[in-house]
Homo-oligomer: A and B are copies of this chain.
Amino acid sequence: MLMKHGMPSRLAFLDCAKNCMLASSPVFRRQQFLIRSLGGASDHQIHFAKMKDLKSVEADAESILRAITPPLDPSRHKGQAGKIAVIGGCREYTGAPYFAAISALKIGADLSHVFCTKDAAPVIKSYSPELIVHPVLEESYSIRDEDKRSIASKVLSEVDKWMERFDCLVIGPGLGRDPFLLDCVSEIMRLAKKSNIPMVIDGDGLFLVTNNLDLVSGYALAVLTPNVNEYKRLVQKVLSSEVNDLDAPQQLLSLAKQIGNLTILRKGKSDLISDGETVKSVSIFGSPRRCGGQGDILSGSVAVFLSWARQHILAADANTNLSSKNPTVLGSIAGSALVRKAASLAFLNKKRSTVTGDIIECLGRSLEDIIPAS
């Protein structure tokens, strides 16, 4: 089936090897020459020209969602469908961590925590009694230099006592860029790695990681979810080059490989996902609205699906028919597809006035359409 932006619910699997082979084929190079010669072919045409020979590696995001979403079994108890924690929320930003954390619950996680600064906590709590909000982070403006060491140690111990309980962390929504706070978050990430807790890294978490690649390098349970600008900074930093949209899958694959053994979900018109081995794409039609906060929904969603995919793979003991056995790739595909579907539903109803909360309210119905709860 042809992949075309705007067509409902399809996932293109862009196999890396095949992509490289195509790039070197005379037919493909001639196509590219013709497109360039025509002077400014639209993105859509380029996308179409690049994709039409890749139909044999396409797959269906819905089959992944169906495979990894756990059954609703009355014998299960609280926590078994997922415990997520968002590290984010500071004096300036409170909406982003809320969006990420509440999205996790609305998809079906059992418990959703937020670790934020003391200023942000009462506000995030007030958005919803469903979240457990820990006022433990500190920003430089509120502490003295001589207290930094002891406060950092206290922050770490507060988070550490919870760490083992979580199935996934989301690092970054509304984190801000305070240096002391980011130092503490670096230590939290090191703790998470020690305990093999998966991490989805977005927003200011990506700012932190781009400047400290060792925090994620070689950690197979990390997912980065950059938008256009965050991706640009990553490419500049890691590949010392500019973003090349004509060869996006290959560049994404190189970036993931270069950082080493992690997964990147590059957000865009189509979302591209690579773990350095394969490149996959999710092009389900979402919404033309670009209201802030949609990335936060995605990070919370990927966290839940990543946890479920990990459980599924462990339980299936590798006897699964899925095209990938990498839970970070599966979680990214599922999260990307579901959020796009929810955005599309919300836009149908709210049009230009669609805001992030409207999309969150459509997460449940979108999942139900794909995998009915009973």
Contact = CB atoms under 8 A, between A and B. Distances in A.
A123 interface: yes
A79 B364 contact: no
Nearest to A81: B290
Q: Looking at chain A's contact residues, is the secondary structure mostly helix, strand, loop, or mixed?
A: loop
Contact of A130 (B69, B123, B135, B355): B355
Contact of A269 (B75, B91, B368): B75
Interface string A199-238: 0000000000000000000000000000110000000000
A286 B77 CA distance: 13
Contacts of A133: 92, 94
A72 B353 contact: no
Give the number of copies in the complex. Answer: 2
A94 B303 CA distance: 24
Interface residues of A, number: 71
A357 to B, nearest CB: 6
A291 interface: yes
A288 interface: yes
Nearest to A371: B352
A166 to B, nearest CB: 13
Contact of A126 (B81, B127, B134, B286): B127
Nearest to A291: B110
Interface string A95-121: 100110000011111110000000100
